[in-house]
């Protein structure tokens, strides 16, 4: 286990903003728990939330906005379940994280939180997530419960496959199916297409993220798509992002989106092209910035779908 960090500056985790509100304003006693949940790095919550919101928007119906209560419930659910997933990941990776520069200050390897305390925090977050899930219809509750299998598998995937990002995609984009189940009590081909788009999107952005750790991953013996693709990463990114756009557009086509949807998706395509053109897999800071920019992509797609429910031609 790494040496316990002591100063306030030492406790800021490498990929968190130096001005993040957890380190600046949260009471010291709860800071380690907030960091287990990555509240100091909110990008993951957005990446988990947007596929949920895409589904809610796409099933809202002609001339309709997505249900605000559902948007709010999914926001709460994404916040706590992303935190639960990160907590589980840190429990599973506690013997690795202390050996990696980017993760050595995480609460468990740095000695700020015990494994037992982390499990208790995990249970509390899962309980809140369950309370959110119980607000939906019975079909959606069953669909949501099935996601726990994927959440449990992901933290261990890097031990046996070079494709842990695929398993992350399965878990992180499950909200596309859940959102569909909440509003329609069904899973349609359009829902499956949106889910597949999210998986491919995750394969892209999390490969970018994984390039920050590839040297450490080699040393400690864990796998990633960044290691598998190496210098061919840009080619793979073009493939992943192209099919991401294709399957989102296909889903929108099946849902009879208006021309406004396609205009918005053109903007989303420009954003992904910018990511690919800007990528330097040997520049960790650039990789982190591009990874975080996917919040903008998620937002562009969401507003494209919302707009696509309205027909400007009358």
* Model pLDDT for residues 69-92, shown as the tens digit of each residue: 999 999 999 999 999 999 998 898
Domain-located, residue 2: no
Domain-located, residue 48: yes
Domain-located, residue 155: yes
Give the integer Cα–Cα distance in Å for 33 and 114.
11
pLDDT in tens, 123-158: 999 999 999 999 999 999 999 999 999 988 988 888
- Structural domain including 252 reads 27-308
pLDDT, residue 94, reads: 82
Domain-located, residue 7: no
Domain-located, residue 182: yes
Decide if pLDDT at 17 tops 70: no
Domain-located, residue 251: yes
Q: How many domains does the chain have?
A: 1
| Count of Cβ atoms closer than 10 Å to residue 29 Cβ | 7
Domain-located, residue 15: no
The CATH number for 94's domain is: 1.10.357.140
Percent of the chain scored above 70 by pLDDT? 92
Kindly state the helix (H) or strand (E) to which residue 154 belongs, with its residue range: helix 138-157
pLDDT, residue 101, reads: 67
Domain-located, residue 11: no
| Cα–Cα distance list, 204 to 20, 27, 226, 272 (Å) | 26, 36, 10, 10
């Amino acid at each position: 286990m790494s040496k316990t960090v002591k100063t306030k500056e030492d406790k800021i985790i490498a990929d968190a903003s130096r001005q993040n509100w957890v380190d600046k304003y949260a009471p010291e006693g709860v800071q380690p728990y907030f960091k287990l949940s990555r509240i100091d790095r909110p990008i993951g919550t957005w990446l988990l939330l947007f596929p949920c919101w895409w589904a809610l928007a796409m099933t809202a119906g002609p001339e309709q906005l997505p249900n605000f209560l559902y948007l709010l419930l999914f926001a709460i659910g994404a916040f706590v379940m992303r935190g639960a997933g990160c907590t589980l990941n840190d429990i599973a990776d506690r013997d690795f994280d202390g050996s990696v520069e980017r993760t050595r200050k995480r609460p468990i390897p740095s000695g700020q939180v015990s494994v037992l305390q982390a499990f208790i925090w995990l249970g509390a977050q899962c309980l809140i997530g369950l309370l959110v899930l119980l607000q939906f219809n019975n079909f959606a509750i069953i669909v949501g419960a099935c996601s726990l299998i994927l959440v449990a598998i992901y933290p261990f995937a890097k031990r046996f496959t070079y494709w842990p990002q695929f398993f992350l995609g399965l878990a992180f984009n499950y909200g596309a199916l859940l959102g569909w189940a909440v509003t329609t009590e069904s899973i349609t081909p359009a829902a499956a297409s949106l889910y597949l788009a999210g998986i491919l999107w995750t394969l892209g952005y999390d490969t970018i993220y994984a390039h920050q750790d590839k040297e450490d991953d080699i040393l400690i013996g864990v796998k990633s798509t960044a290691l598998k693709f190496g210098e061919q990463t840009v080619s793979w990114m073009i493939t992943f992002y192209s099919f991401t756009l294709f399957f989102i557009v296909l889903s929108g086509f099946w849902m009879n989106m208006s021309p406004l949807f396609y205009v918005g998706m053109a903007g989303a395509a420009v954003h992904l092209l910018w990511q690919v053109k800007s990528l330097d897999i040997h520049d960790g800071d650039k990789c982190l910035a591009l990874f975080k920019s996917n919040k903008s992509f998620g937002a562009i797609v969401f507003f494209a779908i919302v707009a696509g429910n309205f027909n400007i031609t009358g």
